Amino acid sequence: MRTAFIETLFELAQEDERITLIVGDLGFGVVTPFMEHLPKQFVNAGVAEQNMTGLAVGMALSGKIVFTYSIANFPTLRCLEQVRNDVCYHNANVKIVAVGGGMAYGSLGISHHATEDIAIMRALPNMVVVAPGDPVEARLATRAVADWDGPCYLRLGRDGEPAVHSCDPEFRLGRAITVRDGGDLTLIATGSLLAEAVAAADALARRGIHARMLSMPTIKPLDTEAVLNAARDTPAIITVEEHSVVGGLGGAVAEVLMESDVRPVAFKRIGLNDTFSSKVGDQEYLRSTYCLDAKGILQTIESTLGLV
Protein backbone atom coordinates (compact mmCIF):
# COMPACT_ATOMS: atom_id res chain seq x y z
CA MET A 1 0.00 0.00 0.00
CA ARG A 2 2.75 2.43 0.81
CA THR A 3 4.20 1.89 -2.67
CA ALA A 4 0.81 2.55 -4.24
CA PHE A 5 0.54 5.68 -2.10
CA ILE A 6 3.95 7.15 -2.79
CA GLU A 7 3.87 6.39 -6.52
CA THR A 8 0.47 8.04 -6.82
CA LEU A 9 1.52 11.03 -4.74
CA PHE A 10 4.65 11.40 -6.86
CA GLU A 11 2.52 11.50 -10.00
CA LEU A 12 0.13 14.03 -8.48
CA ALA A 13 2.93 16.21 -7.16
CA GLN A 14 4.56 16.39 -10.59
CA GLU A 15 1.30 17.80 -11.92
CA ASP A 16 0.57 20.12 -8.98
CA GLU A 17 3.41 22.02 -7.35
CA ARG A 18 1.24 22.90 -4.35
CA ILE A 19 1.53 19.31 -3.16
CA THR A 20 4.16 19.05 -0.44
CA LEU A 21 5.28 15.93 1.40
CA ILE A 22 6.62 16.32 4.94
CA VAL A 23 8.08 13.21 6.52
CA GLY A 24 9.02 12.64 10.13
CA ASP A 25 12.43 11.21 9.27
CA LEU A 26 10.87 7.97 8.05
CA GLY A 27 10.34 6.38 4.65
CA PHE A 28 13.83 5.07 3.89
CA GLY A 29 13.86 3.76 0.33
CA VAL A 30 10.18 4.62 -0.08
CA VAL A 31 10.20 8.40 -0.35
CA THR A 32 13.62 8.62 -2.03
CA PRO A 33 12.42 9.27 -5.63
CA PHE A 34 10.05 11.97 -4.39
CA MET A 35 12.80 13.54 -2.28
CA GLU A 36 15.31 13.51 -5.14
CA HIS A 37 13.07 14.67 -7.97
CA LEU A 38 10.86 17.15 -6.15
CA PRO A 39 13.08 18.69 -3.47
CA LYS A 40 11.07 21.92 -3.41
CA GLN A 41 7.98 19.92 -2.55
CA PHE A 42 9.62 17.79 0.12
CA VAL A 43 10.56 18.42 3.74
CA ASN A 44 12.10 16.09 6.29
CA ALA A 45 10.94 17.57 9.59
CA GLY A 46 13.18 15.26 11.59
CA VAL A 47 12.01 13.22 14.55
CA ALA A 48 9.65 15.97 15.64
CA GLU A 49 6.02 15.16 14.87
CA GLN A 50 4.54 18.10 16.75
CA ASN A 51 6.58 20.51 14.68
CA MET A 52 5.91 18.48 11.52
CA THR A 53 2.17 18.92 12.03
CA GLY A 54 2.37 22.62 12.88
CA LEU A 55 4.59 23.17 9.85
CA ALA A 56 2.07 21.40 7.67
CA VAL A 57 -0.64 23.74 8.90
CA GLY A 58 1.47 26.85 8.30
CA MET A 59 2.22 25.68 4.77
CA ALA A 60 -1.41 24.70 4.12
CA LEU A 61 -2.61 28.11 5.31
CA SER A 62 -0.16 29.53 2.77
CA GLY A 63 -1.77 27.64 -0.11
CA LYS A 64 -0.04 24.26 -0.10
CA ILE A 65 -1.63 20.82 -0.13
CA VAL A 66 0.40 19.12 2.54
CA PHE A 67 0.86 15.43 3.28
CA THR A 68 2.54 14.48 6.55
CA TYR A 69 3.96 10.99 6.57
CA SER A 70 5.19 8.73 9.31
CA ILE A 71 4.42 5.32 10.73
CA ALA A 72 1.82 3.95 13.10
CA ASN A 73 0.84 6.46 15.81
CA PHE A 74 3.63 8.97 15.26
CA PRO A 75 1.77 11.34 12.89
CA THR A 76 -1.49 11.10 14.86
CA LEU A 77 -1.27 10.38 18.58
CA ARG A 78 2.19 11.78 19.20
CA CYS A 79 0.99 15.16 17.97
CA LEU A 80 -2.70 14.75 18.67
CA GLU A 81 -3.25 18.26 19.95
CA GLN A 82 -1.58 19.78 16.89
CA VAL A 83 -3.87 17.59 14.79
CA ARG A 84 -6.92 18.77 16.71
CA ASN A 85 -6.21 22.49 17.26
CA ASP A 86 -4.03 23.29 14.27
CA VAL A 87 -5.10 20.92 11.49
CA CYS A 88 -8.76 20.35 12.26
CA TYR A 89 -9.82 23.61 13.87
CA HIS A 90 -8.26 25.58 11.01
CA ASN A 91 -9.78 23.12 8.53
CA ALA A 92 -6.32 23.14 7.01
CA ASN A 93 -5.60 21.27 3.81
CA VAL A 94 -3.41 18.70 5.51
CA LYS A 95 -3.45 14.96 4.86
CA ILE A 96 -2.00 12.85 7.62
CA VAL A 97 -0.63 9.58 6.30
CA ALA A 98 0.26 6.71 8.59
CA VAL A 99 1.96 3.61 7.28
CA GLY A 100 1.56 0.44 9.31
CA GLY A 101 -2.10 0.70 10.30
CA GLY A 102 -3.16 -2.06 12.66
CA MET A 103 -0.45 -4.59 13.49
CA ALA A 104 1.43 -4.35 10.18
CA TYR A 105 4.69 -3.74 12.02
CA GLY A 106 4.25 -7.07 13.80
CA SER A 107 7.25 -7.92 15.92
CA LEU A 108 8.23 -4.28 16.39
CA GLY A 109 5.72 -4.28 19.20
CA ILE A 110 2.81 -2.21 20.42
CA SER A 111 4.61 1.13 20.09
CA HIS A 112 4.43 0.48 16.34
CA HIS A 113 0.86 -0.86 16.23
CA ALA A 114 -1.88 1.63 15.40
CA THR A 115 -4.97 0.09 16.94
CA GLU A 116 -6.92 3.04 18.37
CA ASP A 117 -6.10 5.60 15.68
CA ILE A 118 -9.33 5.33 13.71
CA ALA A 119 -11.45 5.98 16.80
CA ILE A 120 -9.36 8.94 17.87
CA MET A 121 -9.09 10.56 14.44
CA ARG A 122 -12.79 9.95 13.83
CA ALA A 123 -13.69 11.94 16.93
CA LEU A 124 -12.11 15.12 15.54
CA PRO A 125 -14.41 17.58 13.77
CA ASN A 126 -13.56 18.27 10.09
CA MET A 127 -11.43 15.12 9.83
CA VAL A 128 -12.06 12.64 7.03
CA VAL A 129 -10.83 9.15 7.93
CA VAL A 130 -9.80 6.75 5.18
CA ALA A 131 -8.36 3.24 5.49
CA PRO A 132 -8.04 1.58 2.07
CA GLY A 133 -8.43 -2.18 1.88
CA ASP A 134 -5.82 -3.07 -0.71
CA PRO A 135 -3.22 -1.41 -2.95
CA VAL A 136 -5.86 -0.62 -5.57
CA GLU A 137 -7.93 1.27 -3.03
CA ALA A 138 -4.77 2.90 -1.65
CA ARG A 139 -3.98 4.34 -5.06
CA LEU A 140 -7.54 5.61 -5.54
CA ALA A 141 -7.74 6.90 -1.98
CA THR A 142 -4.53 8.90 -2.41
CA ARG A 143 -6.06 10.73 -5.37
CA ALA A 144 -9.33 11.23 -3.52
CA VAL A 145 -7.76 12.77 -0.41
CA ALA A 146 -5.50 14.99 -2.52
CA ASP A 147 -8.62 16.33 -4.25
CA TRP A 148 -10.47 16.86 -0.96
CA ASP A 149 -10.04 20.39 0.38
CA GLY A 150 -9.60 19.80 4.10
CA PRO A 151 -8.10 17.53 6.74
CA CYS A 152 -7.84 13.81 6.02
CA TYR A 153 -6.32 10.88 7.80
CA LEU A 154 -5.07 8.22 5.40
CA ARG A 155 -4.35 4.98 7.23
CA LEU A 156 -2.33 2.61 5.13
CA GLY A 157 -1.10 -0.92 5.63
CA ARG A 158 2.53 -1.56 4.98
CA ASP A 159 3.65 -3.35 1.85
CA GLY A 160 2.86 -6.54 0.01
CA GLU A 161 -0.86 -6.65 0.76
CA PRO A 162 -2.74 -8.75 -1.81
CA ALA A 163 -4.93 -6.94 -4.32
CA VAL A 164 -8.58 -7.70 -3.61
CA HIS A 165 -9.92 -5.76 -6.56
CA SER A 166 -9.00 -7.14 -9.99
CA CYS A 167 -9.94 -3.83 -11.63
CA ASP A 168 -10.50 -0.29 -10.35
CA PRO A 169 -13.76 -0.03 -8.43
CA GLU A 170 -15.63 3.27 -8.39
CA PHE A 171 -13.97 5.06 -5.47
CA ARG A 172 -15.59 8.04 -3.78
CA LEU A 173 -14.89 9.36 -0.32
CA GLY A 174 -17.77 8.39 1.95
CA ARG A 175 -18.92 5.52 -0.22
CA ALA A 176 -18.68 1.80 0.43
CA ILE A 177 -17.47 -0.51 -2.30
CA THR A 178 -19.52 -3.65 -2.87
CA VAL A 179 -17.05 -6.45 -3.38
CA ARG A 180 -19.86 -8.96 -3.87
CA ASP A 181 -23.53 -9.17 -3.08
CA GLY A 182 -25.30 -11.69 -0.89
CA GLY A 183 -28.42 -11.96 1.22
CA ASP A 184 -27.53 -14.07 4.24
CA LEU A 185 -25.40 -11.53 6.10
CA THR A 186 -23.30 -8.43 5.45
CA LEU A 187 -19.62 -8.28 6.18
CA ILE A 188 -18.17 -4.77 6.33
CA ALA A 189 -14.39 -4.50 6.41
CA THR A 190 -11.98 -1.60 6.50
CA GLY A 191 -8.25 -1.44 5.98
CA SER A 192 -6.03 -4.31 5.02
CA LEU A 193 -8.15 -6.91 6.81
CA LEU A 194 -10.38 -6.71 3.75
CA ALA A 195 -8.56 -9.67 2.17
CA GLU A 196 -9.08 -11.82 5.29
CA ALA A 197 -12.76 -10.89 5.43
CA VAL A 198 -13.15 -11.80 1.77
CA ALA A 199 -11.49 -15.15 2.44
CA ALA A 200 -13.94 -15.76 5.30
CA ALA A 201 -16.82 -14.87 2.97
CA ASP A 202 -15.42 -17.36 0.42
CA ALA A 203 -15.43 -20.10 3.05
CA LEU A 204 -19.04 -19.27 3.95
CA ALA A 205 -20.03 -19.34 0.27
CA ARG A 206 -18.63 -22.83 -0.05
CA ARG A 207 -21.18 -23.80 2.59
CA GLY A 208 -23.99 -22.06 0.76
CA ILE A 209 -24.05 -18.97 3.00
CA HIS A 210 -23.79 -15.88 0.89
CA ALA A 211 -22.42 -12.73 2.43
CA ARG A 212 -22.71 -9.25 1.06
CA MET A 213 -19.12 -8.11 1.24
CA LEU A 214 -18.60 -4.39 1.63
CA SER A 215 -15.27 -2.66 1.68
CA MET A 216 -15.57 0.53 3.73
CA PRO A 217 -12.46 2.56 2.96
CA THR A 218 -13.98 5.74 4.37
CA ILE A 219 -14.87 5.46 8.04
CA LYS A 220 -15.76 9.13 8.26
CA PRO A 221 -18.00 10.30 6.74
CA LEU A 222 -19.51 6.84 6.89
CA ASP A 223 -21.68 5.55 4.05
CA THR A 224 -24.82 5.35 6.17
CA GLU A 225 -26.92 4.41 3.16
CA ALA A 226 -24.85 1.30 2.57
CA VAL A 227 -25.14 0.37 6.26
CA LEU A 228 -28.90 0.88 6.37
CA ASN A 229 -29.39 -1.02 3.11
CA ALA A 230 -27.42 -3.89 4.61
CA ALA A 231 -29.68 -3.83 7.67
CA ARG A 232 -32.76 -3.91 5.49
CA ASP A 233 -31.52 -6.54 3.08
CA THR A 234 -29.65 -8.98 5.32
CA PRO A 235 -30.35 -10.30 8.82
CA ALA A 236 -26.82 -9.82 10.20
CA ILE A 237 -24.08 -7.20 10.04
CA ILE A 238 -20.55 -8.02 11.07
CA THR A 239 -17.75 -5.46 10.98
CA VAL A 240 -14.10 -6.39 10.54
CA GLU A 241 -11.13 -4.16 11.33
CA GLU A 242 -7.56 -4.42 12.55
CA HIS A 243 -8.30 -1.94 15.30
CA SER A 244 -9.90 -1.86 18.70
CA VAL A 245 -13.61 -2.67 18.72
CA VAL A 246 -13.97 0.61 20.64
CA GLY A 247 -14.88 3.50 18.41
CA GLY A 248 -13.63 2.30 15.04
CA LEU A 249 -15.56 0.99 12.06
CA GLY A 250 -17.71 -1.24 14.26
CA GLY A 251 -18.54 1.63 16.58
CA ALA A 252 -19.37 3.91 13.67
CA VAL A 253 -21.68 1.30 12.12
CA ALA A 254 -23.34 0.62 15.49
CA GLU A 255 -24.02 4.34 15.95
CA VAL A 256 -25.79 4.50 12.60
CA LEU A 257 -27.84 1.40 13.29
CA MET A 258 -28.93 2.38 16.79
CA GLU A 259 -30.19 5.74 15.59
CA SER A 260 -32.13 4.22 12.70
CA ASP A 261 -35.41 2.38 12.60
CA VAL A 262 -33.85 -0.62 10.92
CA ARG A 263 -31.85 -3.07 12.98
CA PRO A 264 -30.22 -6.27 11.90
CA VAL A 265 -31.16 -9.40 13.84
CA ALA A 266 -27.51 -9.94 14.68
CA PHE A 267 -24.60 -7.51 14.95
CA LYS A 268 -20.97 -8.13 15.83
CA ARG A 269 -17.82 -6.05 15.84
CA ILE A 270 -14.69 -8.03 15.02
CA GLY A 271 -11.46 -6.38 16.08
CA LEU A 272 -9.11 -6.21 19.03
CA ASN A 273 -11.23 -6.58 22.14
CA ASP A 274 -10.03 -3.48 24.00
CA THR A 275 -6.60 -4.95 24.43
CA PHE A 276 -3.03 -4.19 23.45
CA SER A 277 -1.59 -6.46 20.77
CA SER A 278 1.20 -7.38 23.13
CA LYS A 279 2.03 -10.89 21.88
CA VAL A 280 5.19 -11.07 19.81
CA GLY A 281 5.04 -12.02 16.17
CA ASP A 282 4.54 -10.93 12.61
CA GLN A 283 1.27 -9.55 11.33
CA GLU A 284 0.03 -12.94 10.17
CA TYR A 285 0.81 -14.49 13.55
CA LEU A 286 -0.80 -11.64 15.44
CA ARG A 287 -3.93 -11.77 13.31
CA SER A 288 -4.18 -15.47 14.03
CA THR A 289 -3.54 -14.93 17.74
CA TYR A 290 -6.23 -12.27 18.04
CA CYS A 291 -8.70 -14.17 15.79
CA LEU A 292 -8.45 -11.60 13.03
CA ASP A 293 -7.32 -13.92 10.25
CA ALA A 294 -9.84 -15.52 7.89
CA LYS A 295 -10.17 -18.52 10.20
CA GLY A 296 -10.76 -16.43 13.29
CA ILE A 297 -13.19 -14.15 11.46
CA LEU A 298 -15.07 -17.20 10.21
CA GLN A 299 -15.33 -18.66 13.72
CA THR A 300 -16.73 -15.42 15.08
CA ILE A 301 -19.24 -15.22 12.25
CA GLU A 302 -20.33 -18.79 12.91
CA SER A 303 -20.87 -18.21 16.60
CA THR A 304 -22.67 -14.93 15.95
CA LEU A 305 -25.02 -16.56 13.47
CA GLY A 306 -25.48 -19.67 15.62
CA LEU A 307 -23.91 -21.91 13.04
CA VAL A 308 -21.89 -23.87 15.58
- Min dist CB 247 to another protein, Å, is 23
- Min dist CB 18 to another protein, Å, is 10
Region of 49 (left: φ > 0; alpha: ψ -120 to 50; beta: rest) is alpha
Residue among 81 and 170 whose Cβ is closer to another protein? 81
Residue 280 CA to residue 286 CA, distance in Å, equals 7
- Min dist CB 17 to another protein, Å, is 9
Residue 7 CA to residue 139 CA, distance in Å, equals 8
Report the alpha-carbon angle 223-165-155, nearest 5. Answer: 55
Q: Applying CB under 8 A, which residues contact another protein? A: 40, 43, 45-46, 48, 50-51, 53-64, 81-82, 85-86, 89-90
- Min dist CB 118 to another protein, Å, is 24
- Min dist CB 127 to another protein, Å, is 16
What 8-state DSSP symbol labels residue 17? T
Distances (CA, A) of 71 to 49, 68, 199, 207, 213: 11, 10, 27, 40, 29
Residue among 58 and 150 whose Cβ is closer to another protein? 58
Residue 243 CA to residue 153 CA, distance in Å, equals 15
The continuous run of DSSP H or E covering 8 comes out as helix 2-15
Residue among 25 and 184 whose Cβ is closer to another protein? 25
Half-sphere exposure of 252 (CA within 13 A, CB side): 30
- Min dist CB 47 to another protein, Å, is 9
Residue among 90 and 279 whose Cβ is closer to another protein? 90
Residue among 53 and 190 whose Cβ is closer to another protein? 53
Residue among 118 and 124 whose Cβ is closer to another protein? 124
